[in-house]
Chain A
Amino acid sequence: MTIAEAQAAGGFRTSALLQDNRFKYWLIAPAVFVMLLVGLFPIIYSLVVSFQYVTMMDQDYSWYGFGWYEWMFEDDRFWESLWHTALITVIALPCELFLGLLLARLFLGPLRGKPIFIAIILLPSVICPIVVGAVWRLMFDTRYGPITHFLNWVSGADIQITWVVDPNWVYPVILVAEIWQWFPFMFLILLAGLSNVDTDLTDAAAIDGAGFWTTFWRVSLPAIWPVMFIAILIRGLDLVRIFDIVFVVTKGGPGTMTETTPIYMYITGFHQFETSYTGAMVFLIIVLLSIIVVAALRRVEISR
């Protein structure tokens, strides 16, 4: 029976409700409401509370103006934490991208036991970041850490670096842990992207005399760019929120040398109960990130 026959037979009745174009919006309204409640309410609450005076000692919900924003602009520790976060992001992100891309390219061709190798490579990304931090802290232990032992063995010298305290080494240790955990994520996304590049295009490029690099830069990379951009965006946002690994490896130390913005906000919000001030910081970060993300999405025309 065709649809026309069914309609003629009265089998399908198109109700007025279904003809109403607005009905689809009613269907998704509960989900949208929940998402707004969960996603938007904390942001609005942070904004509201940032204009009040809610601290450990005082619970004043009246209008306090821009006092906390002024406080923030004079707070060196906040700006330093922002700098530390940016530093980790601008180093870790390209490294993760490069290593992920390199490995994805290596895994593109046929390889015996490929699924097993992929599973092994992905292991770090499924471990809890707190555990990753603890593992790397032990790896870099001055006395018992295998890295120190390995360096001593290679160099023949008695290397005694306190990796998680020495200002020359704290960032490298954090970056090693961070990159080790998350480059597999880049690898997985980019492998999926590269695997879906139309081989007709790459074959055509080869027939036209394009070499490996030309094909990669002119054909493969543009083809996977939307996927790669989303991977960069996800990891970039993750890095701006970096907390666990740094907290376990250095607790933001020595002093506040590796204190990231999330760690500082955690201290002010949950240890010092500066609720309004933390709200102001949170809101500023949200605004900054929103501007960056929207601008980036427009730049690559993905938001369409």
Chain B
Amino acid sequence: MSMFRIAAAATAVSLALGFGQMANAESAGDRAVAAAQKYSGTTLSLHSEAGLQALGWELWNAQQWKELTGITVDQTSAPVNEMFVTTVQDFRGPANFDVLDVAPAYLPDLVEMGAVVPVNDWMDQFGYWDDYNDIAGAYKGWGEYKGKVYGFPDDGDVHVMMYRKDLIDEDAANQSEFKEKYGYKLAAPTTWKEWDDVAQFITDKYGPDIYGAAQPRAKGLTLYFWMDMFRDYGGRFFDVETMNCTWNSEAGVSSLSDFVEQRRYMPPGADAWGFTEAAASMLNGHVALHYTWPGVGRWIQNVGTDIEAMNWVPPSHVEGKIGYAVPPGGTPELAVGWIISVASKSDNQEAAYLFAQWSNSIEVSTGKTSLGYSIRDPFRVSHYADPGFRNLWSNAGQYLDALKTAGENGVQDLTVIQAQKYHDLIDNAVQAAIGGEDAQSALDTACKSADRVTKQIGVDRQRDVYKQFAAQENAYR
């Protein structure tokens, strides 16, 4: 990606932002800025994920906000798996935070313990409903709990598939060989069976230079990939009447067995790969199929990776050779994600809310989600249609269309009280199976522990929250 293209894109976004503000002086972002000016001179404390997420807040949001309102945004950050911990620690302790990045799966916990406040009244007062309704369907429920809005979905985390179109769509020899071997046309896989076939075909033909597939499989990440497959196979997390764990159902066992078996066409050692190693294998051209978080889809076109903070991302050797699609099954995991919320113990709640409204507004979030470094991903209907974004690289439109479909059909992480405990158990079960334990045995052990957790929380209490989760469109498809 040349500097020229980035500069052109940035200019386009800035112009769109500027003209948008002039043309519509009463946009939600403008209203937030106007209302926030009375808080000029104050400082807001923002707690976000460390690394690129924090960089996005710092470079894209905090500086602009300071210039527009005179309000300083101080940042603290933590690794993704420490975000919930540090948020709760702050709530129980010094209560320094004003604005919070919250993973949606942990919203019930934070609401139940009173760590975040509903924002409905402010949304009415400062006119945010139009922008809120622009958020893609699957994400909208992220910030809602028991009928109230506690935060704005602010990062369209969903798994998206990247594939080598030069090997799969455009290679005539591969097309005929595949057709002859498997009896159907070689294309981006839409089912798990097709995924297996295509990946095996590539490994057989191109290995060890190019392997069929890879995705993050390290501890702490596999749960997000299995929860998606589990629901594609018809799995349900709990029996809604008894609240007994049902991960060890037939759907659970067969999906986990198949998930583990995917290693047969993956590169050696891929079972231990985290996000970065798996992404690097795709960027280096060593893998033909890959599904992961959307940021990689931009890096693979070398978009936004030529700043110093992105030096650790290997340059893409497959720029222009990549196609995008929804992962197999068609209901990808809305894995992790972030909503932006207001801390209940904040001394500057209204200013914190206004910052959230402004940064989440259509015009500001459009610019941010198109950046390579921010890894804030598109989450609005308007993001998917944004002309500047769709022209950011040759097939950016295909990328955004895949994200749009994923954003309509994706499934949410298990979101109940103390979701972290259940997530930990799921991850351990998947890891145990990857480590060689029988899938049934691994899931039985996990379910036994999950039932103990549910009993400890209270079956009735958990059922109420689970029913709300299960009733959402993005829980099961």
Q: A and B: real partners?
A: yes
Interface of A with B (CB < 8 Å)? Answer: 56-57, 71, 74, 76-77, 141-143, 160, 162, 164-167, 170, 250-257, 267, 270-273
Known: A141-B269, A271-B85. A57 touches B418 (CB 8 A): yes
Q: What are some 23 contacts across the A-B interface (CB < 8 A)?
A: A57-B418, A57-B457, A76-B449, A142-B268, A142-B269, A165-B431, A165-B435, A167-B435, A167-B436, A252-B219, A253-B219, A253-B435, A255-B428, A255-B431, A255-B435, A256-B428, A257-B432, A271-B85, A271-B424, A272-B418, A272-B420, A273-B85, A273-B88
Contact digits for B262-299, partner A, Cβ 8 Å, 1 yes 0 no: 00000111011000000000000000000000000000
Given contacts A57-B457, A255-B433, 8 further A-B contacts (CB under 8 A): A56-B109, A76-B449, A160-B268, A162-B269, A162-B271, A251-B220, A253-B435, A255-B429
Closest to A145 in B: B269
**What distance in Å separates the Cβ of A34 from its nearest Cβ neighbour in chain B?**
24
Answer yes or no: B26 CB below 8 A from chain A CBs: no
Answer yes or no: B113 CB below 8 A from chain A CBs: yes
Answer yes or no: B193 CB below 8 A from chain A CBs: no
A267 lies within 8 A of B272 (CB): no
Residues in B with CB closer than 8 Å to A77 are 449
Question: Which of A160, A170, A256, A257 has the most B CB atoms < 10 Å from its CB?
Answer: A256
Contact digits for B61-100, partner A, Cβ 8 Å, 1 yes 0 no: 0000000000000000000010011001000000000000
Residues in A with CB closer than 8 Å to B436 are 166-167, 254
Known: A57-B109, A254-B436. A162 touches B268 (CB 8 A): yes
Residues in B with CB closer than 8 Å to A164 are 272
A257 lies within 8 A of B269 (CB): no
**What distance in Å separates the Cβ of A133 from its nearest Cβ neighbour in chain B?**
14
Minimum-distance CB pairs A-B, first 3: A254-B435, A142-B269, A255-B432
Answer yes or no: B442 CB below 8 A from chain A CBs: yes
Contact digits for B417-445, partner A, Cβ 8 Å, 1 yes 0 no: 11011001000110111111100001001
**Complex Cα distance A267/B84, Å?**
13
B268 lies within 8 A of A143 (CB): yes
A56 lies within 8 A of B418 (CB): yes
Closest to B267 in A: A143
**Complex Cα distance A164/B268, Å?**
12
**What distance in Å separates the Cβ of A60 from its nearest Cβ neighbour in chain B?**
13
Residues in A with CB closer than 8 Å to B457 are 57
Residues in B with CB closer than 8 Å to A251 are 218-220
Answer yes or no: B209 CB below 8 A from chain A CBs: no
Residues in A with CB closer than 8 Å to B417 are 57
Residues in A with CB closer than 8 Å to B420 are 271-272
Within 8 A of A (CB), among B3-37: none
Residues in B with CB closer than 8 Å to A165 are 271-272, 431, 434-435
Residues in B with CB closer than 8 Å to A256 are 428, 432
**Complex Cα distance A36/B473, Å?**
57
**What distance in Å separates the Cβ of B392 from its nearest Cβ neighbour in chain A?**
33
Answer yes or no: B121 CB below 8 A from chain A CBs: no
Question: Which of A71, A141, A142 has the most B CB atoms < 10 Å from its CB?
Answer: A142
**What distance in Å separates the Cβ of B413 from its nearest Cβ neighbour in chain A?**
16
Answer yes or no: B241 CB below 8 A from chain A CBs: no
Residues in A with CB closer than 8 Å to B442 are 255
A160 lies within 8 A of B435 (CB): no
Residues in B with CB closer than 8 Å to A257 are 432, 435
Closest to A77 in B: B449
B112 lies within 8 A of A57 (CB): yes
Known: A56-B109, A251-B219. A166 touches B269 (CB 8 A): no
A254 lies within 8 A of B432 (CB): yes
**What distance in Å separates the Cβ of A45 from its nearest Cβ neighbour in chain B?**
16
Give the number of residues in B that approach A within 8 Å (Cβ atoms).
35
**Complex Cα distance A255/B445, Å?**
11
Interface of B with A (CB < 8 Å)? Answer: 81, 84-85, 88, 109, 112-113, 218-220, 267-269, 271-272, 417-418, 420-421, 424, 428-429, 431-437, 442, 445, 449, 452, 456-457
Residues in A with CB closer than 8 Å to B219 are 250-254
**Complex Cα distance A74/B456, Å?**
13
**What distance in Å separates the Cβ of A66 from its nearest Cβ neighbour in chain B?**
16
**Complex Cα distance A249/B421, Å?**
22
Task: Give the contacting residue for A56; candidates B113, B271, B428, B445; CB below 8 A.
Answer: B113
Residues in A with CB closer than 8 Å to B220 are 251
B421 lies within 8 A of A253 (CB): no
Residues in B with CB closer than 8 Å to A170 are 435
**Complex Cα distance A159/B228, Å?**
32
Residues in B with CB closer than 8 Å to A162 are 268-269, 271-272
**Complex Cα distance A253/B437, Å?**
12
Residues in A with CB closer than 8 Å to B109 are 56-57
**What distance in Å separates the Cβ of A25 from its nearest Cβ neighbour in chain B?**
38
**Complex Cα distance A143/B84, Å?**
34
**What distance in Å separates the Cβ of A268 from its nearest Cβ neighbour in chain B?**
9
B269 lies within 8 A of A143 (CB): yes
Residues in B with CB closer than 8 Å to A252 are 219
Question: Which of B88, B268, B433, B445 has the most A CB atoms < 10 Å from its CB?
Answer: B268
Residues in B with CB closer than 8 Å to A74 are 452
**What distance in Å separates the Cβ of B70 from its nearest Cβ neighbour in chain A?**
37
Question: Which of A162, A250, A251, A272 has the most B CB atoms < 10 Å from its CB?
Answer: A162
**Complex Cα distance A160/B211, Å?**
15
**What distance in Å separates the Cβ of B170 from its nearest Cβ neighbour in chain A?**
28
**Complex Cα distance A256/B432, Å?**
7
B271 lies within 8 A of A255 (CB): no
Residues in A with CB closer than 8 Å to B421 are 272
B418 lies within 8 A of A267 (CB): no
Closest to A269 in B: B85
**What distance in Å separates the Cβ of B275 from its nearest Cβ neighbour in chain A?**
14
**What distance in Å separates the Cβ of B72 from its nearest Cβ neighbour in chain A?**
30
**What distance in Å separates the Cβ of B435 from its nearest Cβ neighbour in chain A?**
3
**What distance in Å separates the Cβ of B122 from its nearest Cβ neighbour in chain A?**
27
Closest to B453 in A: A272
Residues in A with CB closer than 8 Å to B429 are 255
Question: Which of A167, A251, A253, A272 has the most B CB atoms < 10 Å from its CB?
Answer: A253
Residues in B with CB closer than 8 Å to A250 are 219
Closest to A58 in B: B113
Task: Give the contacting residue for B435; candidates A76, A166, A272; CB below 8 A.
Answer: A166
Residues in B with CB closer than 8 Å to A271 are 81, 84-85, 420, 424
**Complex Cα distance A131/B449, Å?**
33
Known: A57-B417, A271-B424, A272-B421. A253 touches B431 (CB 8 A): yes
A160 lies within 8 A of B269 (CB): yes
Residues in B with CB closer than 8 Å to A160 are 268-269
Closest to B218 in A: A251
Residues in B with CB closer than 8 Å to A167 are 435-437
**Complex Cα distance A274/B229, Å?**
31
Residues in A with CB closer than 8 Å to B271 are 162, 165
Closest to A256 in B: B428
**What distance in Å separates the Cβ of A74 from its nearest Cβ neighbour in chain B?**
8
Closest to A160 in B: B268
**What distance in Å separates the Cβ of A162 from its nearest Cβ neighbour in chain B?**
5
